[in-house]
A = this chain, B = another copy of it.
Amino acid sequence: MWRLYQFPLCPFSRKIRLLLAEKNVAYEMLREDPWSASDYFWNLNPAGRTPVLAHQERDIVLCDSRAIAEYFEETVDKSPMINGTSTNRAEIRRLVALFDENFYNDVTAPLLNERMKKRIVLNQPPDSRVLREAMKLAHGHLDYMDWLIDNRPWLAGSTMSLADLAAAAQISVADYLGGIDWAGHEQTRGWYAVFKSRPSFRPLLTERMGVIQPPLHYAKVDD
């Protein structure tokens, strides 16, 4: 059976959990917190990052969330998530990179540092300037998503794709950490509400990360 090394607020692990659920691939989860990763984990992945997906019986270790997504796209037919012509597929991959890199660096990473790492590891208060800047940048990203959703049924085109999973994964972590102000983003809010009601999303919404509690609206499907 597949074994997923992850931690609850890792947006890249969340993307893979959504993908595996949509594709109906069974797996068990092991928790690997980034600030206390074991030597065993570093041996599995020299990049030292979650998610890692391992299959002991088949002697397979997959690292890097995009490499993992491409692997399941190639090996599991159900629910294709990098679909269409080569140009469509390039558009899906462009948006995945936009959320994995720009949204993550601008919004998710500073929120994780201020609200998770400082709380759990460093025992420091969050820097409110950094939080404000992350929330400001989040608005810019949500504006762009609003525009995409005005023009297309799903972020990358006519069907749900890995771009939607990547975006929902980042937003879900940012929302958990209180970094998303939904006012003025009705299009993205509507798109996200549809997502929250999917069976693939429910397990993420019920999970909690230690002492850090999400805002009240976080797990509400109709909010």
A90 touching B102 in the complex, CB below 8 Å, given contacts A46-B144, A97-B47, A144-B46: no
A99 to chain B: closest residue by CB: B47
Q: Quote the shortest CB–CB distance from A145 to chain B (angstroms).
A: 11
Which of the 9-residue segments A19-27, A31-39, A61-69, A131-139 touches chain B?
A: A61-69
Contact with B along A143-168 (1 / 0, CB 8 A): 01000000000000000000000000
Q: Which one of B89, B94, B96 lies within 8 Å of A74 (CB-CB)?
A: B89
State whether the Cβ of A98 lies closer than 8 Å to any Cβ in chain B. Answer: yes
CB-CB under 8 A from A43, the residues of chain B are none
A54-84 residues with Cβ-Cβ distance < 8 A to B are: 60, 62-64, 66-68, 70-71, 74-75
What's the number of copies of this chain in the assembled complex?
2
On whether the beta carbons of A97 and B46 are closer than 8 Å, the reply is no
Q: Is the CB of A47 within 8 A of B102?
A: yes
A-side interface size class: 20 to 34
Q: If the complex has contacts A86-B74, A102-B47, are A97 and B67 also in contact, measured as CB distance less than 8 A?
A: yes
Least distance between A206 CB and chain B CB atoms (Å): 30
Contact of A47 among B63, B66, B71, B101 (CB under 8 A): B101
A94–B63 touching, CB < 8 Å: yes
Q: How far is the CB of A204 from chain B (nearest CB, A)?
A: 23
Contacts of A128 in B (CB 8 A): none
A102 to B49, CA, bound (A): 10
Inter-chain contact A66/B86, CB cutoff 8 Å: no
Interface residues, chain A, with chain B CB atoms under 8 Å away: 46-48, 60, 62-64, 66-68, 70-71, 74-75, 86-87, 89-90, 93-94, 96-98, 101-102, 144
Q: Which 5 A-B pairs have the closest CB atoms?
A: A67-B93, A64-B97, A71-B90, A74-B86, A63-B94
